[in-house]
Amino acid sequence: MTVLLKPRNRLVNFRLTEDEYGKLAAVCVQKGSPSISECARAAILRLVEREAGRGGPLDGRFDDLDVRVAQLEASLRRLRRHAPGVELEQG
């Protein structure tokens, strides 16, 4: 579960070709992202941080962890869909 410290109240809107959208969707699924919007948002914010010179040696490691957590969340959602009566331990 993601905890938001600041409200997200700004909107960025841009158009993609069918091919671009397909590629984006495929990468988001591969990365286990909960949605295309969240995947695109995370990618853009990583780019912004790197361009701002804030990217340090741990950035790639944190990116990897973000991807793995998103994949685990997606797997848990699939498990819950396929086994609705099973309670998963949280902790």
- What is the total count of domains within the chain? 1
For residue 60, being part of any structural domain is answered with: yes
pLDDT value at residue 76: 83
The CA-to-CA distance between both ends of the chain, in Å, stands at: 12
Instruction: Give pLDDT, residue 6.
Output: 79
Does the pLDDT of residue 63 top 90, yes or no?
A: no
For residue 90, what are its two tokens? 């949280």
Look at residue 77 and tell me if it is in a domain.
yes
pLDDT band at residue 55, thresholds of 50, 70 and 90?
low
**What pLDDT was estimated at residue 49?**
81
Q: Provide the domain limits for residue 59.
A: 27-82
Question: Tens digits of per-residue pLDDT, 8-47?
Answer: 888 999 999 999 999 999 999 988 888 899 899 888 888 8
Collapsing DSSP to helix, strand or coil, 6 comes out as coil
Whether 31 maps to a domain, the answer reads: yes
Residue 57 lies in a domain: yes
88 in a domain, yes or no? Answer: no
> Is 67 domain-assigned?
yes
The whole-angstrom separation of Cα 21 and Cα 33 is: 15
Residue 36 within a domain:
yes
d(CA 76, CA 81): 9
Look at the pTM and tell me if it is higher than 0.75: no
Residue 5 lies in a domain: no
Percentage, residues of the chain above pLDDT 70: 79
pLDDT of amino acid 57: 60
